Amino acid sequence: MSTIALVDVNNFYVSAERVFNPKLEGVPVVVLSNNDGCVVARSQEIRALGVTMGEPWFKLRDLVKEHGIVALSSNYALYADISNRVMTILSDFSPRQEVYSIDECFLDLEGIPDLTQTGQTIRQRIRKWVGVPVCVGIAPTKTLAKLANHVAKKRSQYQGVCNFKEMPVEDIDQILASIEVGEVWGIGRKLNAHLQRGGIQTVKQLRDFDILRLRRRFGVVMERTVRELRGEPCLEMAEVSPPKQQIISSRTFGRYVTDLHELEGAVSTYMSRAAEKLRRQASVAATAYVCIRTNPHKDGEPQYSPGMMIGLPHPTNDTRELVQAVLTCLHRIYRDGFRYQKAGVMLSDITPEGISQGELFASQPVTPKASKLMSTLDQINRKMGEGVLKLASDGVEQEWKMKRGNKSPAYTTRWDELPIVR
DNA sequence: TCTGGGGTCCTAGGACCC
DNA sequence: TCTGGGGTCCTAGGACCC
């Protein structure tokens, strides 16, 4: 029998902001997506107002005035740093940790006595050492641990730690019968609707339903989910994250772009970022992709959203080659007379660097000289700040860059933005 | 005026092979 | 008009996650 804990920071982005700005405590706070477009994190007070995830910010104007909502632009440097601190502390509790996302991780707690107490220790330590609140769910499988975590968050009697491992079966049944099936990890909007229509409303109903019928109707993913709900582990702990099979970099512009030259700058910049990510995981890509699009929400305006894939002469991670390839594509798909809102690039057919296949046809692999140049570029940008050194094609003005109207300082990652205590 | 960004896995269907 | 039975590989699209 395995024992897995899911530890998750409550309202992560909002909690991270509150660490350095205690005035935000008790105040309704939202964190907005890039370009301050829509809501990506909500404090408890915001949830209570009925604001949903992903809601466009401009639709909340009235609510803002009425309730004194504080809206912050997203500050990824801060969140990444807080996340690292949390994950490092959590790694002390188990030799096996899977960092699942920026704000949550699985821990293998097999063999540890006093699980609930351990959960409380985790909570207290993270609160004290980092300053953010976490909840802990403990169960024999990942899916159940997620569910236990949900219970820990929603029901105050558990004081932030819900442990299915040391709970009478009847109690677990009762809990599962009181939770809607859509809360289960892996049951999204569509599946939820499907199940509801079929008369499966609660988690318990799903758990106890005929597994063969579910498999036939919904496939193997559903089967795994149901087995996990029954306490049979089907999902392994993934301690080391495998290299990415595709790398995307895309952004909505801060304003509409019509000019090809400006699009070139954006696409070149995005590809530089993607290529850097590619090099960071020591990979090369054989295929590149670029797409641009107008604003699909604008009825009555001419719409155009082309994309184009290109195979590279040989797998590479050289920014210059990759940028050149996507710029060629961009020229092919660009049409005059549209107001473009967004551009993106993607790298795929990714393989580890140094394993060159199809050498016979490779015109020229990444040369040592190019490799040296790229790693120097990365080192300088890592040390001096993103985009300090870039290709000329990225452009100098970059007027298309996104808006982030109300970003908090990079408190922990820039010397000139350290918090000041008076 | 204003609607994010980045991933994974699975399946179905088509092309092609013997 | 009738028209086998596999297999593999690739792609597009759907569903999910945070």
- State both tokens at A149: 């975590």
Mean of the per-residue pLDDT values of chain A = 92
Q: Judge whether residue A147 has pLDDT over 50.
A: yes
Judge whether residue A411 contacts strand C, using its CB and a 7 Å cut-off: no
- A52 CA → C8 C1’, Å: 45
Q: Judge whether residue A51 has pLDDT over 70.
A: yes
Judge whether residue A176 contacts strand C, using its CB and a 7 Å cut-off: no
pLDDT tens sequence across A89-146: 999 999 999 999 999 999 999 999 999 999 999 999 999 999 999 999 999 999 999 9
Judge whether residue A247 contacts strand B, using its CB and a 7 Å cut-off: yes
Q: List, edge to edge, every strand of the sheet that includes A39-42.
A: A39-42, A29-32, A70-73
- A66 CA → B17 C1’, Å: 68
Q: What percent of chain A has pLDDT over 70?
A: 97
- State both tokens at A74: 């997203």
Q: Can you give chain A as a three-state secondary structure string?
A: CCCEEEEEECCHHHHHHHHHCHHHCCCCEEEECHHHCEEEEECHHHHHCCCCCCCEHHHHHHHHHHHCCEEEECCHHHHHHHHHHHHHHHHCCCCCEEEEECCEEEEECCCCCCHHHHHHHHHHHHHHHCCCCEEEEEECCHHHHHHHHHHHHHCHHHCCEEECCCCCHHHHHHHHHCCEHHHCCCCCHHHHHHHHHCCCCEHHHHHCCCHHHHHHHHCHHHHHHHHHHCCCCCCCCCCCCCCCCCEEEEEEEEEEECCHHHHHHHHHHHHHHHHHHHHHCCEEEEEEEEEEEECCCCCCCCCCCCEEEEEEEEEECCHHHHHHHHHHHHHHHCCCCCCEEEEEEEEEEEEECCCCCCCCCCCCCCCHHHHHHHHHHHHHHHHHCCCCCCCHHHCCCCCCCCCCCCECCCCCCCHHHCCCCC
What pLDDT shows up at residue A29? 96
Picking from A284, A228, A274, A285, the residue whose alpha carbon sits closest to that of residue A250 is A274
Measured CA to C1', what is the nucleotide nearest A40? B4
Residue with CA nearest C1' of nucleotide C17 = A186
What pLDDT shows up at residue A356? 57
| A159: region left, alpha or beta (phi > 0 left; psi from -120 to 50 alpha) | left
What pLDDT shows up at residue A360? 46
- State both tokens at A33: 């997506």
Judge whether residue A192 contacts strand C, using its CB and a 7 Å cut-off: yes
Nucleotides of strand B lying closer than 7 angstroms to a protein CB: 1-11
Q: Judge whether residue A265 has pLDDT over 80.
A: yes
Measured CA to C1', what is the nucleotide nearest A12? C18
Instruction: Please enumerate in sequence order all residues whose Cβ is within 8 A of that of A387, keeping only pairs 6 or more positions apart, or say none.
Output: A269, A381, A394
Judge whether residue A146 contacts strand C, using its CB and a 7 Å cut-off: yes
Judge whether residue A37 contacts strand B, using its CB and a 7 Å cut-off: yes
What is the mean pLDDT of the segment spanning A310-322? 93
Distance from C-alpha of A387 to C-alpha of A381, rounded to nearest angstrom: 6
The pLDDT-based confidence of A401 (bands split at 50, 70, 90) is confident
- Strand B, CB < 7 A, residues 301-320 of A: none
What pLDDT shows up at residue A367? 86
What pLDDT shows up at residue A45? 95
The pLDDT-based confidence of A299 (bands split at 50, 70, 90) is confident
- A271 CA → B6 C1’, Å: 15
User: What are phi and psi for residue A310, nearest 5 degrees?
Assistant: -140, 130
Q: Are A107 and A5 in contact (CB under 8 A)?
A: yes
What pLDDT shows up at residue A285? 94
What is the mean pLDDT of the segment spanning A230-246? 93
Measured CA to C1', what is the nucleotide nearest A8? C18
- A166 CA → B4 C1’, Å: 40
- State both tokens at A54: 């992903």
CB atoms within 10 A of CB A300: 5
Measured CA to C1', what is the nucleotide nearest A190? C15
- A158 CA → B7 C1’, Å: 33
Residues β-bridged to residue A8:
A104, A135
Judge whether residue A26 contacts strand B, using its CB and a 7 Å cut-off: no
- A292 CA → C2 C1’, Å: 50
User: What are phi and psi for residue A185, nearest 5 degrees?
Assistant: -60, 120
- A50 CA → B12 C1’, Å: 39
What pLDDT shows up at residue A361? 46
Q: Are A31 and A72 in contact (CB under 8 A)?
A: yes
- A163 CA → B17 C1’, Å: 55
Distance from C-alpha of A387 to C-alpha of A376, rounded to nearest angstrom: 13
What is the mean pLDDT of the segment spanning A240-264? 94
What pLDDT shows up at residue A407? 87
Nucleotides of strand C lying closer than 7 angstroms to a protein CB: 14-18
Q: Which residue has the higher pLDDT, A38 or A366?
A: A38
- A194 CA → B14 C1’, Å: 29
User: What are phi and psi for residue A64, nearest 5 degrees?
Assistant: -60, -50
Residues β-bridged to residue A343:
A251, A292
Q: What is the pTM of this model?
A: 0.92
What pLDDT shows up at residue A355? 64
- A379 CA → B11 C1’, Å: 43
- A171 CA → B4 C1’, Å: 40
Distance from C-alpha of A201 to C-alpha of A193, rounded to nearest angstrom: 9
Distance from C-alpha of A97 to C-alpha of A6, rounded to nearest angstrom: 10
pLDDT tens sequence across A341-399: 999 999 999 999 876 554 444 445 678 899 999 999 999 988 888 888 889 899 988 88
